[in-house]
Structure 1
Amino acid sequence: MKILISADMEGATGVTWPADCEPGTEQWQRCRVMFTSDVNAAIAGLFEGGATEVLVNEAHSTMRNLLLEELDERATMITGRHKELSMIEGVQTGDVDGIVFLGYHCGAGDEGVLAHTYLPNAITGVWLDGEPASEGRLNAAVVAEYGTPVILVTGDDRACEDAESYAPFARTVAVKDHVSRYAARCRPPARTAADIRVAAERSMTLAGRIDPVDPAHKAMEIEVDSAQLAQAAAIVPGVTRTGARRVRYTSPDAYEMIRAFKTVTTMISNHMEKDYG
């Protein structure tokens, strides 16, 4: 049984503030340890549940946050940016029996600790086929086309609630409870590691190849906080403006949907200025 862990950081143990997950800050260095602890707990539980291979894909920011030297030696890790499928790199091999969304969070415009979708600001809402879409929902749509089930989701309590809408059978572990976008009631790492390990072991009962979802057209709508960013997004072929601050595009399947979304968000981030956005 081969399992992929997509490891994001905003939903990791103890992370509540931008500096906690911004590479290069003192707080980021501290929180990297707790992030790695969450991942190691998941790895341990997965192997205890019957996994024979665990691949970790770094999914946060620079994608160089986990401490490789502290990683469970039974696992391997993809680290670094500019990957074909970004947060879920590795699933496209077609032999992944289950995926863990670790350290996930709510989407842009929603209530949750450090809630956002791809960009920490600028994007105020994302909709997939008319439904509000977090990164979890977007990524779940892609892995379904490869016949890979989502078996475990960890994050704050709101992220776990969000997971019920796109992966209703997955196990969930709340490592903290939402108080505000920048505050949470946190469990200590010793406790969250134990909770994640148990849930990961139990989640292996959900692992196994499933029938791939037939590729179907996906309609994406993105709202940003200024008109000039919508203009920037519309530079991408196939993307059209539907309002002063909204753009829309349609892809033939989820694979192309997520790749186009990465392109659109790159254009948006490259057209932002420090003071005026």
Structure 2
Amino acid sequence: MGEGEQRRRPIAAVLVALVALVLVVFIGGDIVTRAFVEARIRTGIVAQLPDGLAGDVNVRVGGAPMLLQFVSGSFTQVTVVSKGMLVRGIPFQSTVVVSNVPFDPAKPISRVTATVSLSDEAATALSALPGAVTVAFGDGTIVYRMPGQTTTGAPESAATAETTTSAATTSGAATASVTPAVSADGTSVVLATKGSPTDADQAASVSVCIAKFLPAGIHLTSITPTVGSLSMTVEGDNVSFSRSALAVAGTCP
């Protein structure tokens, strides 16, 4: 082994150690910075929650290393998961994913996808509201019973409600099932209803405007009831989250 080769080996070892140290510092710094940014975003979201809305909010900033995201002037992807949320005593959970979020709030966000989920607990809470109907979620349907009628008891699930429809009707209760669907333009929910106080086989279709409850540019893309739960998804492209933009609601034709 030559003297030159012996000298090169320690130099190579030092270079490898330096590269490893830089990587450790870079990765460690990215983890710390990402956690700091996530905490700041979470604090901002919690501070802006309206009165009557409370729950646990978790934020995850994904995508490229934070240094590159700072240089680009936008976050690659931000995911906000809210669990155990309560609004007027009604529990729900939501997941919001936003892509290419600019640091300048006046600039639009490239993509927004939000999903809200309700469970049987939410159905029970809705049913307990004054003047509300008794609600249960089924496979592709929402089963409800009108108030002010003699019933055999609130169903624990949509399956129970469907099997007790006949008995409830004979005792004077109005029980019906609703099959929800999204309108072609994503502004409304179309409810196909079967069952009424006078004719259990009567079918009707009602359109409920959802766009007026959403910021302009956000559209409903799906509403899916399953046994024990209901999920709704909204999406939008090039959406501005500035205060002035959020103050403008969508419209229905």
Is TM more than 0.5 here? no
Task: Name the one with the larger strand percent.
Answer: 2
Larger relative contact order (Cα-Cα within 8 Å, sequence gap ≥ 6): 1
What TM-score does the superposition give when structure 1 sets the normalisation length? 0.21
